[in-house]
Amino acid sequence: LAKTTQPISMDSYEGQEVNITCSHNNIATNDYITWYQQFPSQGPRFIIQGYKTKVTNEVASLFIPADRKSSTLSLPRVSLSDTAVYYCLVGDIPPGGGADGLTFGKGTHLIIQP
């Protein structure tokens, strides 16, 4: 499994765009990149998943450069409720079996201030 490196913590202000970068230098050809958000005492929640280039959904964008050795989660116009831990996971998602026990690291603790 590809090892990931993220900042331990970040802070920003309401209304700002926040970018969290994850390094995954040994990403394999079949690996996907998935980001999760976790609030205290709750299970992580899927945010976005991608393989290459850019993916956008209603809550975030995911930028993946051509070499795929890093990825950036972009949260537009954050609010206080975006204060949470964000995890970057990299791993294979084979057909017929789901994702094989991906390990979450310590994640990035994002703090949004008024």
CB of 77 to other proteins, least distance (A): 23
CB of 104 to other proteins, least distance (A): 4
- Is residue 91 involved in binding other proteins (CB under 8 A)? no
Helix (H) / strand (E) containing 11: strand 9-13
What's phi and psi for 82, nearest 5 deg?
-85, -5
- Is residue 46 involved in binding other proteins (CB under 8 A)? yes
Of 12, 21, 23, 32, the one binding other proteins (CB under 8 A) is 32
Q: Which is nearer to other proteins, 54 or 77 (CB)?
A: 54
- Is residue 105 involved in binding other proteins (CB under 8 A)? yes
- Is residue 71 involved in binding other proteins (CB under 8 A)? no
Backbone φ/ψ region at 98: left (φ over 0), alpha (ψ -120 to 50), beta: left
Size of the chain, expressed as the number of residues it contains? 114
Query: According to DSSP H, which parts of 14-90 are helical?
Result: none
Specify the pairing of strand 45-50 against strand 70-75: unpaired
- Is residue 98 involved in binding other proteins (CB under 8 A)? yes
Integer Cα distance of 18 and 31 in angstroms? 25
Which residues form the interface with other proteins (CB under 8 A)? 32, 34, 36, 38, 41-46, 49, 87, 93, 95-107
